[in-house]
Structures are given as structure tokens and as C-alpha cells.
């Protein structure tokens, strides 16, 4: 996919995506970035530079925890996993997000009921 078709992440959505990615199990930083990119079918490109500050932020907030582990190709890497608080937050934030998406589409396409 060409760079111009990619979308810059909305402010604040990176946290949500990271949490969602970790639902499927623990993962290291690079893995999280790759997963988001792949799941979004290459539409969302995660800025590696802002990923690590985000991870630190989430960990400090107690939403994720981390530990050193070994990657598939035998490299030392820091693995992150969702905490209970993080899981609860994800549910709440996902709900909010969906509500917002519905609301925004209603505004953008008035008269047309979404499915």
C-alpha cells in the first residue's frame, strides 16, 4: 500500500489499539506495531517513535504489565500483557469508540440509517 493511502492515527486511539492487540496474548513492542498494521490491512501505520512512550504510559497507568522474554527468533525482548484493569478499560473504551463512530457517521450521512 502506498504511503499516501495510509491514515495517521487519531490522537488517543493508539492506546486503544495497543490494548485491543494485547487481548490475544502477550506481545513485544515491534509485534504490537506489526499486528496493528496487519489487522488494519495496512491502513494504519504505527509510528514506532511514539509507540514506546505510549507503552510506558499505559504501563504506568496499570493497564498493561511487562517482562523480559525471548522472541520467536531467539531475541531478548520486553513482552507486554493486559492487566485486569486494562481489560476493563478496553471494554469501556471500545463501547465509547463505537458510540462515537455511530454518532459521527450519523452526522456525516444524515438520513441514512446504519446497519
Partner 1 sequence: MKLPRWLRWRTDQELDEEIQSHLEIEIQANLERGLSRDEARYAALRRLGNRTRLEEQAREGDPLFGVETFGRDVLHGMRNLRRNPGFTIAATISLALGVGANTVIFSLLDSTMLKPLAFPDPGRLAVISTVPAENPDQPQTSSISTYFAFRDRTTSFQSVGAYNGAACGVGTLGSDQDGVPAERILGQTLSPSLFRSLGVKPLLGRTFTDEEDQVDNVAPVVVISHGMWQRRFASDPAIVGKTLALNRTKPTVIGVMPPDFTFFGDQVEFFLPLCLTGTQVLSRVGGNTIVGRLKPGVSIKEAQAEIDTISAQLAASDQERHKGLGARVETLQQAAYRDYRSPLLILQGAVAFVLLIGCANVAGLLLARAASRRTEVAVRAALGAGRQRIVRQLLAESFPLSVLGGLVGLLLSWGGLKLFLAVAPADFPRLHEISLNLRILGFTALVVMLTSVVFAVVPAIQTSKLDLLHSLKEAGRSGTDGIARQRLRRALVTGQIALALMLLIGAGLMINSFIRVQKHDLGADPKNLLTFNFQWPISEGAKPVGKYHGVGLWEVSPRPARTFDRVAERLRSVPGVLSAAAVNIPPLNSGTLPLITTFLIEGRPAPLPNGASADESKQPDQTANYFAVTPDFFGTMRIPILRGRDFNDRDKDDAPLVMIVNQAMALQFFPGENPIGQRVTLDLAPGERPREIVAVVGDTATSRLAREQAPAVYVPHVQQTSRFSGPWVYFRTGMYFVLRTSGEPTALATAVKRAVAEVDPNTPAADLRPLEENLDDQVRNMRIYMLCLGIFGTVAAILAATGIYGVMTYSVAERTREIGVRMALGAGSVDVLKMIFSQVGRLIGAGVAIGLAGAVALTGLMKSALYGVTATDPATYAGVSLLLILVALIACAIPTRRAVKVDPTIALRYE
Interface residue list for partner 1 (CB under 8 A): 28-31, 34, 47-50, 52-53, 56-57, 60, 71, 73, 75-78
CB 52 to partner 1: min, Å = 5
Cβ closest to partner 1, residue 11 vs residue 73: 73
For residues 94 and 14, what is the distance between their CA atoms, to the nearest angstrom?
12
Cβ closest to partner 1, residue 48 vs residue 109: 48
List helix spans (H) across 40-83: 48-60
Amino acid at each position: 500500500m502506498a504511503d499516501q493511502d495510509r491514515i495517521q492515527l487519531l490522537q488517543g486511539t493508539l492506546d486503544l489499539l495497543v490494548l485491543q492487540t494485547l487481548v490475544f496474548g502477550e506481545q513485544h513492542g515491534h509485534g504490537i506495531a506489526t499486528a496493528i498494521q496487519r489487522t488494519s490491512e495496512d491502513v494504519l501505520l504505527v509510528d514506532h517513535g511514539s509507540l514506546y512512550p505510549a507503552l510506558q504510559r499505559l504501563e504506568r497507568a496499570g493497564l498493561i504489565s511487562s517482562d523480559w522474554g525471548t522472541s520467536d527468533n531467539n531475541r531478548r525482548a520486553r513482552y507486554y500483557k493486559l492487566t485486569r484493569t486494562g481489560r476493563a478499560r478496553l471494554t469501556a473504551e471500545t463501547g465509547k469508540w463505537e458510540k462515537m463512530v455511530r454518532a459521527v457517521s450519523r452526522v456525516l450521512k444524515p438520513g441514512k440509517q446504519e446497519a
